[in-house]
């Protein structure tokens, strides 16, 4: 079954990030747009995020190649520990964020390529697991990851400046050793075989600071501030940007993590996701800018790794 047609982009916050590199007036206007979108809708569409559209298309092409491999080939890159952020997660192995739900998806995950000894401190660090017989896959996919991480750091700067904070306020919590992960997800068509407890991925917020998402077909739903689930239309020349838990913590709830889910659909859907995280041992607590007598701290200090581990453990327990 083919996917339904798109909705209208005009009904959603749509921001051209090229304005961040324009005149001071253009940058100021773009920062105001981002702040209004995050505080209002909780998300926005980003045009001109950074890496070229051709490179995004190339990553999706590689994702199709990987997911089309026979299972015994994909097993060479099998991820065996939930939360390790690297390798293939087959159908049926994705953690369930809501009790009683079953996720119908598979994924190839990767992050910064680091020496294996990095794992001693945090299981999400180390070397990636690459398929053994897919020429061009690693270069294309990892090359895009590196380029996207550079562009994402500019968004961290923008998020600080939109609150009149020093440019490096959020960057101080992240380095190349952050737990920023990229996922190439595939949601197979249900072919009429579904049940109430089967979902693409059940409702959750992301554990990191913010997330960039691109999709080939409808299925994603976002929870609005008014409590309504909406289905953002597909525009492959734009990324959807949502707030994660760590920005909610740092801003003391001024920004709220965007709850979202993926429906089980009758059509195939691929998505490219970049989770922008902080370093594993970075201590995250509400910043003074967002704390006052009338608005005391809502969150206890935590670290990125402690938060991820707690959330992953809870999700795995639901399997």
Enter the pTM of the model. 0.94
- Look at residues 40, 25, 284 and name the one whose alpha carbon lies nearest to residue 169: 284
Which sequence spans correspond to the domains of the chain? Answer: 10-317
pLDDT at 183: 98
Interatomic CA distance for residues 258 and 225, integer angstroms: 9
End-to-end CA, the chain: 29
- Rg of the chain's alpha carbons, rounded to an integer? 19
pLDDT at 315: 77
pLDDT at 96: 77
pLDDT at 5: 57
Residues 10-317, CATH architecture: Sandwich (2.60)
Residue 190's region, left for phi above 0, alpha for psi from -120 to 50, else beta, is alpha
pLDDT tens digit sequence for 24-71: 999 999 999 999 999 999 999 999 999 999 999 999 999 999 999 999
pLDDT tens digit sequence for 135-144: 999 999 999 9
Sort strands 210-215 and 269-276 into parallel, antiparallel or unpaired: antiparallel
Sorting pLDDT into bands at 50, 70 and 90, what band is 85? Answer: confident
- Look at residues 144, 126, 120 and name the one whose alpha carbon lies nearest to residue 62: 144
Tell me which of 274 and 113 has the higher pLDDT: 274
pLDDT at 124: 66
Interatomic CA distance for residues 187 and 199, integer angstroms: 10
pLDDT at 58: 98
């Amino acid at each position: 079954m083919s996917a339904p047609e798109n909705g209208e982009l005009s009904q959603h916050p749509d921001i051209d990030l090229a304005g961040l590199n324009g005149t001071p007036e253009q940058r100021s206007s773009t920062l105001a747009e981002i702040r209004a979108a995050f505080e209002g809708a909780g998300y926005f569409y980003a045009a001109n995020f950074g890496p070229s559209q051709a490179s995004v298309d190339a990553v999706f092409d590689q994702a199709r190649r990987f997911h089309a491999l026979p299972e015994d080939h994909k097993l060479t890159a099998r991820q065996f520990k939930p939360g390790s952020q690297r390798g293939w997660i087959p159908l049926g192995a994705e953690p369930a964020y809501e009790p009683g739900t079953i996720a119908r998806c598979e994924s190839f995950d990767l992050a910064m390529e680091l020496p294996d000894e990095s794992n001693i401190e945090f299981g999400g660090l180390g070397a990636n697991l690459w398929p053994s017989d897919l020429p061009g896959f690693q270069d294309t996919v990892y090359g895009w990851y590196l380029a996207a991480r550079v562009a994402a750091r500019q968004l961290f700067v923008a998020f600080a400046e939109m609150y009149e904070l020093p440019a490096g306020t959020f960057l101080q919590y992240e380095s190349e050793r952050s737990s920023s992960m990229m996922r190439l997800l595939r949601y197979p068509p249900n072919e009429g075989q579904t049940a109430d407890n089967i979902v693409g991925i059940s409702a959750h917020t992301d554990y990191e600071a913010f997330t960039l998402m691109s999709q080939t077909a409808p299925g994603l739903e976002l929870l609005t501030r008014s409590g309504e689930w909406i289905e953002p239309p597909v525009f492959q020349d734009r990324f959807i940007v949502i707030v994660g838990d760590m920005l909610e913590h740092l801003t003391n709830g001024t920004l709220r993590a965007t709850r979202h889910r993926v429906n089980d659909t009758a059509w195939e859907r691929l998505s490219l996701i970049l989770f922008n995280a902080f370093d594993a041992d970075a201590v995250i607590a509400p910043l003074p800018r967002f704390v006052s007598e009338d608005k005391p701290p809502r969150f206890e200090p935590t670290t990125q790794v402690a938060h991820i581990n707690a959330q992953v453990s809870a999700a795995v327990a639901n399997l």
